[in-house]
Amino acid sequence: MLVVLKIGSSVLEKDGKPDEKIFDGISSVIGDCLKEGKAKFVVVSSGAMLFGVMETNLKKAENLIRKQALCAIGQPKLMNMWEKSLSKYGLKPAQILLIHDDFASKERSQNVKNTIEEIIKMGFIPIVNENDPVSTEEIKLGDNDFLSVYLSALINAEKLIIASDIDGVIDESGKVIEEINFEDKEIWKKIKTIKSKKRVSSGGITSKLSATKLASEFGIESFIINGKKPENIKMAVEGKRVGTRIIPGKKYPKKILWIGNVLKCKGKLEVDEGAFNAIISGKSLLPSGVIKVSGNFSRGDMIELEFNRKTFAKGISNYSSAEINLIKGKKTSEIERILGYKREDEIIHRDNMMILLD
């Protein structure tokens, strides 16, 4: 079984210093599971900025450039801790730093998948983190909760374990919710959300819930557990009752979920009522239904569709914004006459589109 284990910054520190016992405990569990043939691991480890803060004795990062610098300082320290702890159990780490484009590009995402598979085959433990020092807002993944979901889907992991400093998702009475099924529309009313008070944090329980909801749509079983107790990781691997288990929901096609949740929007098309009704009934978008083009995008980019000032769908465009500006409102039979060529009949094919309406 292939497991993605996401470890939050708060798990890895104690009293403002790296918690060596936690690193050792998690490494021990990984070693035990490997020896017993229960799981192979890909670790998504936060902590670069936190370790940078520790190294520089700064209380906080004042701006994006400072945050990136702290991550650059902290990442080697983080990897050094993993190397030191894993080596005690005969294991070695391999570092992988990713940005959004590594998932948005088909070629690059396949390369990431192939590399991770080869690292595992060679007997090393992939340690993944976002490449924060080079991540701008345009290429940033958001936080490691979502990185772990994207990665789980990409490498076809069977289980995602999110290790934090909480015992699980709690309800309004303060009790841990043992199982969550996001197909239950009332579940959000039962969950108590808590604002983070940590020095360094980009996620939080809301982020974890949103991430595991997406994981469930990919058909991946998830656990939110207390990583301060490393034995919980093994319990989650074994499917025992621990923390909060998120039940896999209805599995959607990976390509459609990738379009709707992973790819960055590069532009927008406003469509008429006829196109709107056709699309929500399962048909493709033709040039005749386009009223207005916004943004500067290329063929193959993800764009949003809007009707009555509301975004209702996302999809992969067969034509660039410049081309669509020339053929909007025209019949499919006129495309070649106007452009001098015709790639496709549709601007967006229904198989490359995600409808956002409930």
Same domain (yes/no): 237, 290: no
Alpha-carbon gap, residue 243 to 232, rounded angstroms: 8
For residue 138, what are the CA distances in angstroms to 100, 266, 317?
8, 10, 20
Exposed/middle/buried for 175, CB within 10 Å: 0-12, 13-18, 19+?
exposed
Same domain (yes/no): 38, 103: yes
User: Residues 190-217: what's their mean pLDDT?
Assistant: 71
Same domain (yes/no): 7, 147: yes
Residue 166 has pLDDT above 80, yes or no: yes
* Domain of 249, in residue numbers: 2-256
Say if residues 297 and 260 touch (Cβ distance below 8 Å): no
Residue 45 has pLDDT above 90, yes or no: yes
Same domain (yes/no): 185, 297: no
Q: Which of 35-44, 186-195, 281-290 has the lowest mean pLDDT?
A: 186-195
- Dump pLDDT digits (tens) for 96-117: 999 888 988 888 999 999 999 9
Residue 18 has pLDDT above 80, yes or no: yes
For the chain, what is the mean pLDDT?
90
At what angle are helices 254-261 and 205-217 packed, to 10 degrees? 150
Same domain (yes/no): 331, 183: no
Q: How many domains does the chain fold into?
A: 2
Q: Give residue 171's pLDDT.
A: 85
Check: pTM over 0.85? Answer yes or no: no
Same domain (yes/no): 64, 155: yes
Q: Give residue 200's pLDDT.
A: 45
Q: Give residue 101's pLDDT.
A: 85
Same domain (yes/no): 39, 179: yes
Same domain (yes/no): 195, 295: no
Structure tokens at 51: 């370790």
Please name which of 256, 173, 182 lies closest in space to residue 222, comparing C-alpha atoms: 182
In the structure, what pLDDT confidence band is assigned to residue 140 with cuts at 50, 70 and 90?
A: low
Same domain (yes/no): 239, 305: no
Residue 197 has pLDDT above 60, yes or no: no
In the structure, what pLDDT confidence band is assigned to residue 142 with cuts at 50, 70 and 90?
A: low
For residue 278, what are the CA distances in angstroms to 100, 146, 325, 342?
32, 32, 21, 22
Owner of token pair 């370790």: 51
Q: For strand 40-45 and strand 13-14, is the pairing parallel, antiparallel, or unpaired? A: unpaired
Contacts of 66 (CB under 8 A, 6+ apart): none
Same domain (yes/no): 343, 250: no
Q: Give residue 173's pLDDT.
A: 81
- Specify the CATH number for the domain of residue 89: 3.40.1160.10
Residue 302 has pLDDT above 70, yes or no: yes
Q: Give residue 138's pLDDT.
A: 47
Spacing of C-alpha 301 from chain mean position: 19
User: Residues 141-164: what's their mean pLDDT?
Assistant: 91
Same domain (yes/no): 192, 316: no
Residue 199 has pLDDT above 50, yes or no: no
Between residues 79 and 190, the one the model is more confident about? 79
User: Residues 16-26: what's their mean pLDDT?
Assistant: 94
End of a domain among 208, 231, 256? 256
Residue 245 has pLDDT above 70, yes or no: yes
Residue 196 has pLDDT above 50, yes or no: no
Q: Give residue 260's pLDDT.
A: 85
End of a domain among 227, 256, 285? 256
Alpha-carbon gap, residue 350 to 327, rounded angstroms: 19
Torsion from C-alpha of 112, 118, 122, 128, nearest 10 degrees: 10
In the structure, what pLDDT confidence band is assigned to residue 190 with cuts at 50, 70 and 90?
A: confident
Between residues 274 and 62, the one the model is more confident about? 274
To the nearest whole percent, how much of the chain has pLDDT over 70? 93
- Specify the CATH number for the domain of residue 346: 2.30.130.10
Same domain (yes/no): 16, 154: yes
Helix (H, G, I), strand (E, B) or coil at 160: strand
In the structure, what pLDDT confidence band is assigned to residue 137 with cuts at 50, 70 and 90?
A: low
End of a domain among 210, 233, 256? 256
